[in-house]
Amino acid sequence: MRQKLAAGNWKMNGTGAVLAELEALIQAQGAAKSELLICPPATLLSRAAEIASGSHLAIGGQDCHAASSGAHTGDLSAHMLKEAGATAVILGHSERRADHGEGSEGVAAKASAAWGAGLTAVICLGETLEEREAGETLHVIGTQLATSLPDGATGANTVIAYEPVWAIGTGKVPSLEQIAEVHDFLRAELATRFGADMAAATRLLYGGSVKPSNAAEIFATSNVDGALVGGASLKAADFAPIIQALDAS
């Protein structure tokens, strides 16, 4: 049985004061049935891990370099994230792909590095609005999955997050049928490449304008095992109802 996962991506938001939201979230959701993950900015990672120590809440990074060390100014290795208290790392987010020109082959290299450091790789996939309107969604998602996910992926070291680019932070959400189509496709693709057992063990998250008002119906959709949440994860009062909806699904 796959454990459901509610993951929060704080992106480039928050200074030390926002860590009070972590404390509030732990107090509010200490008994959550779902796994909880918050990925704060790197400057807050070690302090967040200290706050979350001994709780039901895990802490993750938002990116890592494929190399373990070297002349890579401004980058962080997977081992550095691990030492700072991370247990997971988001890779291949559409904002990284767009803002930094990251390709799927590079994402795969980062995933291997994450596994080597003992981190779970949360690998993001998603199509643009133009690709969706051109009927290319499954082709785009399938290509990203094939090239972003290295051999050696398991349900224990990998989470897949489907985030349509056009739905991130826009308030637009795909129909439940569109979400189910992609998640069903992802499960089938994993089974074809890695086998039925791996596919059945791998959690598939939906991300893109998830909020308390639509969380329950999204979590009731075929093959959705949780969510990767952006803005709504910054405040415990907004994230808690999403977690509660996931627990109830």
Catalytic residues: 93, 163
Give the residue carrying structure tokens 């370099």: 65
CB 205 within 8 A of CB 224: yes
| SS3 (DSSP) at 58 | strand
Which residues fall within 8 angstroms of residue 217, CB to CB, at 6 or more apart? 176
Cα distances (Å, whole numbers) of residue 183 to 21, 66, 134, 205, 218: 31, 27, 19, 8, 11
Residue 92 has, within 13 A of its CA and on its CB side, a CA count of 32
Tokens (6 digits) for 123: 């690998």
CB 9 within 8 A of CB 39: yes
CB 35 within 8 A of CB 58: yes
CB 2 within 8 A of CB 219: no
Say how far residue 197 (Cα) sits from the centre of its chain: 21
Q: What is the dihedral of CA 127, 129, 130, 132, to 10 degrees?
A: 60
Give the residue carrying structure tokens 């050696």: 152
